[in-house]
Structure 1
């Protein structure tokens, strides 16, 4: 491993000089003469390997190793103990704390070079493997998210010419989630789950979905079934993304005052992701051109959402949405129907 950095920790200057002399020709070598300095240096420079003495005053090597492994920043660094302790119990304790090897004093230059080279190579292979796994995992996640987005757009194509509705409202949903102070992971989940909100429309007859006139009572009841159909299509799954997508599909037509469907939930009994989607969905529907209507102005759309605060929409979320309306307009303009 070219240009690797090795941190040597020992309270005896002569021992440090010996190890530096053995390693300096092949590696960048840093030194620390006690435990606290070793921890500080390791966190600051993050070496590729640490040679650690055990018997040091104050904080011994075992404690240093323990703290290194408890810190996420340094837990991955290979630690080799270099010590005069030769009992099996001493070696066992070191390995239990996470060390990868043991070198006994007085050290042999060929042994030190061989052990350091071996563990740096293993460490390098491990990092490459982890990078490959991360890249593959991201590729699979991206594929899954794209499938979800395309399924959402498939449903929208039944009553929307381009399907861009799901793209815009997904961005609005994440924007509102961020403004509401929700965790980053949650905000990404809602962004990726939002496209599935109307997947149940796949099960709605075209005669109802595309009827130009007002729906009669029976037709309206059939239309409302898309929420439950959507939940059935997504199904029950332990995956957090699919769990959220199911809750959104089932509950995004519930209203704050309890007058929504399918269950008449009210207030905070409605999942917050469904309350967020409700605002994002309506805002996009109002400000978009449809064959049966012109696009509303942003001001008129916001005015309607404000008027429905406490009735259709969560009042707190309405206030948050008003704070990010300028960003929402930028999203609308960058994903418009004619782009």
Structure 2
């Protein structure tokens, strides 16, 4: 009888093959480790060089800043420019000998800086080519490079490399392309604000790169080829032939899911003793699974039915919660909510009677509590609105009369609708307009109604009224009162940033405050004051137009002026109404 292989012999063969693989892998790994070590050293040298050059260039830049500020003349590096039309953000960078340096983020792709020195504002741009020529041309670099801005625009360096690689993306510290290594570094760093990026290209001479790699690859392929021949002959031809057939028969075993019986083919003897033992044992034990499989099939059928029941119950709960959420947020009516709950309960199976009863009870309880809460919330808002409307009248009645408050509210609604504000935002605007001068109730009459010109001290007291009004209602976080607080604190801010109390400008001022600012000025102009007569409507409209882009948002001024006739109609209507206070 032909002797069979044992697992011991097969193990010896595998150990020998493993040793061969380990030796060949050692050659490859040691080669790659040596390469990586030299590349990392090269990378660190480049990084250090870039940091030194960056530090020197920033020092030159700061010196040029000082020369520019004190000489008030353009240099070959710094040029004074106009203020950008649209400024997205202003970032403070650093203070250089009493000169505050800011970085301007705008639509202009060219970096713009702002210098502030002794209340003098200068916008400048840099001639990077001249700035970098002063340093890069005097250094013998061991790598090639180019510099781009944050938008990917070419600034300085090798333009051919830039054109070739500008569309390539490297997300790692070191990338390799066509035998050349690429790394990028942040450049021109001013107080952690990286304005530029430098891409470096280098090709280190790695220990006889071609010869050593060719030799290593050759030896590895020879050993791998010899191992593949031995492995294929011994394992695949001699050992695994019958083994694969038997494994295939195992994969063909199937179960009759109606009876639970196992259907299989007989196994053939293999070339390995242990394999035969395994297949014979498998053949004996597999029939022991028939009874458990039969029980499992019965249990599985029962679980499927239970799972289907649970699925329907869970779906019913989720649909109930979804319907209640829509009802709570006012997206559906009570009748629709009731109809949906009824349909959910009807769709459940007869086994879910306890859940049906629970959902019915929960529906009745939630409905009652939701309706009660809505009534309480509605009464609370109505009382707050009445209270603040009265406060707005009391704050204005010293300087004007109660009709001034109505004018503010009605004209604000008109302008809000013109710019297509939504209903909740219109409500916020209306309330904020009526109580915008709430803080004036704390200003002494001797100052508020003074006929003569106010002193500087008196004017500072007047300028406190936005903060006073804000403090009165800031604790009410619910809308529309939180928006009203925002209008109170910022309705005297100007489009050009010269307003008070904080001097914010442009679109940083809430749009509701910008609307109220225009209307408040217009109503004040057409109202007689202790120190002057009222302006005519025509004169008041001309003053508003004159302040366009200065005190007021230019787009809102256009909307306001286009609504002249409607505004005059509102004024006449309110003036003709019978006084009720």
Return the TM-score normalized by structure 2.
0.39
SS of the equivalent of 1:240 reads coil
Distance 1:95 1:156, change over 3 A: same
Separation in 2, partners of 1:83, 1:261? 63
State yes or no: 1:148 paired with 2:388: yes
User: CA 1:66/1:276 → structure 2, altered by over 3 Å: closer, same or farther?
Assistant: same
Deviation readout 1:267-326 (Å, 9 max, x if unpaired) = 011111111110111111122334444332222222111111100000111112223332
Query: 2:450 touches 2:530 (CA, 8 Å); kept in 1?
Result: no
Whether 2:351 is the aligned partner of 1:87: answer yes
CA distance in 1, matches of 2:522, 2:486: 20
Greater relative contact order (CA < 8 Å, ≥ 6 in sequence)? 1
Q: Check the 8 A contact 1:65/1:79 in 2, yes or no.
A: no
Does 1:272 find its partner at 2:534? no
1:195 pairs with 434, 445, 453, which one?
434
How does 1:117-196 map onto structure 2 within 5 Å? 134=374, 137-160=377-400, 162-196=401-435
Q: 1:65 and 1:79 mapped to 2: Cα distance?
A: 12
State whether residues 156 and 198 of structure 1, in contact with CA within 8 Å, keep that contact through their aligned partners in structure 2: yes
Q: For residues 115-136 of structure 1, what are the alpha-carbon distances to aligned partners after superposition, in whole Å with 9 as ceiling and x for unaligned?
A: xxxx9xx69x958x87776555
Rounded to whole Å, the distance in 2 between the matches of 1:308 and 1:300 is 13
The answer as to whether partners of 1:148 and 1:193 remain within 8 angstroms in 2 is no
Per the alignment, residue 75 of structure 1 pairs with 337
Q: Which position in structure 2 is the counterpart of 1:306?
A: 545
Residue equivalent to 1:252? 491
Q: How many residues align?
A: 254
Q: How far is 1:62 from its partner? A: 10
Work out the CA distance in 1 between the residues paired with 2:445 and 2:526. 24
Q: 1:240, 1:308 → 2: CA distance?
A: 31
Structure 1: distance between partners of 2:408 and 2:354: 59
Aligned counterparts of 1:83 and 1:209: Cα–Cα separation in 2 = 70
CA–CA separation in structure 2 for the residues paired with 1:193 and 1:95: 49
**Are the counterparts in 2 of residues 224 and 262 from structure 1 also a CA contact under 8 Å?**
yes
Secondary structure at 2:521 match in 1: helix
Per-residue CA shift, 1:53-86, capped at 9, x if unaligned? xxxxxxx999899889657443342415457942
User: Take 2:430 and 2:347, find their aligned partners in 1: how far apart are those partners?
Assistant: 54
1:263 aligns with 502
Q: CA deviation at 1:91?
A: 7.1
Aligned to 1:221, what secondary structure does the other structure show? helix
Q: Partners in 2 of 1:84 and 1:337 — Cα distance?
A: 65
Q: Tell me the SS of whatever aligns to 2:575.
A: coil
Matched with 1:13 is none
Structure 1 position 333, deviation (Å) = 1.3
Residue 243 (1) aligns with residue 506 (2)? no
Output one character per residue of 1:239-282: Cα deviation in whole Å (capped at 9) or x when no partner.
Answer: 12222222111111110001111111110111111111101111
The answer to whether the 8 Å contact 2:464/2:501 transfers is yes
Structure 1, unpaired ranges of 5+: 1-59, 102-118
CA spacing shift, 1:65–1:336, aligned 2, 3 Å = same
1:29 corresponds to: none
1:319 aligned residue: 558
Q: Is the 1:286–1:295 contact (alpha carbons within 8 Å) kept by the matching residues of 2?
A: yes
TM-score normalised to structure 1 length: 0.64
SS at structure 1 position matched to 2:471: helix
Aligned equivalents of 1:227, 1:238: Cα separation in 2: 18
Contact 2:428 2:481 survives alignment (8 Å): no
CA distance in 1, matches of 2:532, 2:347: 81
Query: For residues 209-264 of structure 1, what are the alpha-carbon distances to aligned partners after superposition, in whole Å with 9 as ceiling and x for unaligned?
Result: 11101112221112111121121222333212222222111111110001111111
CA separation in 1, counterparts of 2:317 and 2:372? 28
Trace 1:1-80 onto structure 2 (pairs within 5 A).
72-73=331-332, 74-77=336-339, 78-80=341-343
Residue correspondence of structure 1 range 212-231 to structure 2 within 5 A:
212-231=451-470
Query: What SS does structure 2 have at the residue aligned with 1:237?
Result: coil
